[in-house]
């Protein structure tokens, strides 16, 4: 699913971005794809962007909730194009601009990335 950023799954000294990777007492529920702050983020497939979604309440980080048929999910760590909320987008459409997750988390050794998650 490289269409999101064009890069592979993040693995660095701060953690592993693969699905199911350890997060202490929990497991990672998505996949983290490398990117650089300012990168255009593209839709990985045709979907409806249902709303803005935040990964944590005390953060400037942002993202979206999406729907495709009966499947739903979220994508984080980018500033979404708010004009697309409630609209259909198509695979490859630019849906936002990557933010710096490493700066927000205060972890300079964490590579910036986009989190992609399927809920059901």
Q: Is the dihedral of CA 61, 54, 120, 25 positive or negative?
A: positive
- Which tens digit of pLDDT belongs to each residue from 26-58? 999 999 999 999 999 999 999 999 999 998 767
Return the C-alpha torsion angle 115, 53, 43, 15, nearest 10: 0
CA atoms within 13 A on the CB side of 23: 10
- Which tens digit of pLDDT belongs to each residue from 86-102? 999 999 999 999 999 99
d(CA 79, CA 67): 18
- Which tens digit of pLDDT belongs to each residue from 51-77? 999 987 677 899 999 999 999 999 999
The pLDDT, as a whole number, for residue 3 is 64
Domain carrying residue 22 = 2-118
pTM: 0.90
Contacts of 23 (CB under 8 A, 6+ apart): 15
Residue 13 sits in a domain whose CATH number is: 2.70.70.10
Beta strand 78-80 with 94-98: parallel, antiparallel or unpaired?
antiparallel
Count of the separate structural domains present in the chain: 1
């Amino acid at each position: 699913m490289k269409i999101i950023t064009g890069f592979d799954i993040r693995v660095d000294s701060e953690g592993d971005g693969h699905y199911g990777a350890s997060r202490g007492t929990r497991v990672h529920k998505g996949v983290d794809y490398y990117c650089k702050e300012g990168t255009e983020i593209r839709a990985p497939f045709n979907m409806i962007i249902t709303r803005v979604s935040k990964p944590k309440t005390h953060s400037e980080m942002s993202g979206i909730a999406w729907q495709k048929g009966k499947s739903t999910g979220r994508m984080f760590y980018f500033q979404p194009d708010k004009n697309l909320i409630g609209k259909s987008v198509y695979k490859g459409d630019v849906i936002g601009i990557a933010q710096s997750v490493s700066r927000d988390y205060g972890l300079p050794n964490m590579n910036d990335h986009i989190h992609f998650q399927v809920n059901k």
